[in-house]
A and B are shown apart, each in its own frame.
Chain A
């Protein structure tokens, strides 16, 4: 359950990204690096939302496409596309994951006063994936709970990640 009320006591420093025209925020405490797009290796048999692997300074890191998690259209990203490398707890274990962003806007502080409970309607993100909502330039921007998003992804994957057998030749 989202812990809305507690968050109101402090401000959050977040990274604002854009995905298919929507803005979202990630707590900078989770962000490790921001990269220009790099070659991606596809992992056959992996769930489509996390079916890539990239090389980050000698480490092999999974690459997630949140557009698939949130049912967004998948238009080709332009020259502003970036990969944001985050480290989040998945089922309690800190895990490094990359997420695609069409654009990375800025690092900003969402002041305590602007952090509000999630309105129940009118938001395009699943409420349970949102830590809280902040106001920025007059607009609402959701701070996503990356840990929960990926934990959910992992839970979905179990029992479904068998490489599909070839159906005859």
Chain B
């Protein structure tokens, strides 16, 4: 069975790139444009991994991560956030909120696949 990844980002181009890359890598991808949408989708269940930007309107990434970790259906689900090189303190905050790992922007397609395989398996 294919694993399902929830991709959360307010940038439509990032969402598209992620969907293309991970879809081609054998995963199913569902999308959300902000933290609140992401949370709602996660509540519906069936998510095996979450990939999220941090800087988003309505509900930002850190807050969403915190709320996701309260959901029983997200226990054990890897949450990867996108971060820029310089934002070291964001990493701390995101991990404290319950994130599993990160990808540094800008990233290539194979880097994305690499991280996903690392935390999720094939």
Assess A/B contact in the complex (Cβ within 8 A). Answer: no
> Which residues does B use to contact A, with CB under 8 Å?
none
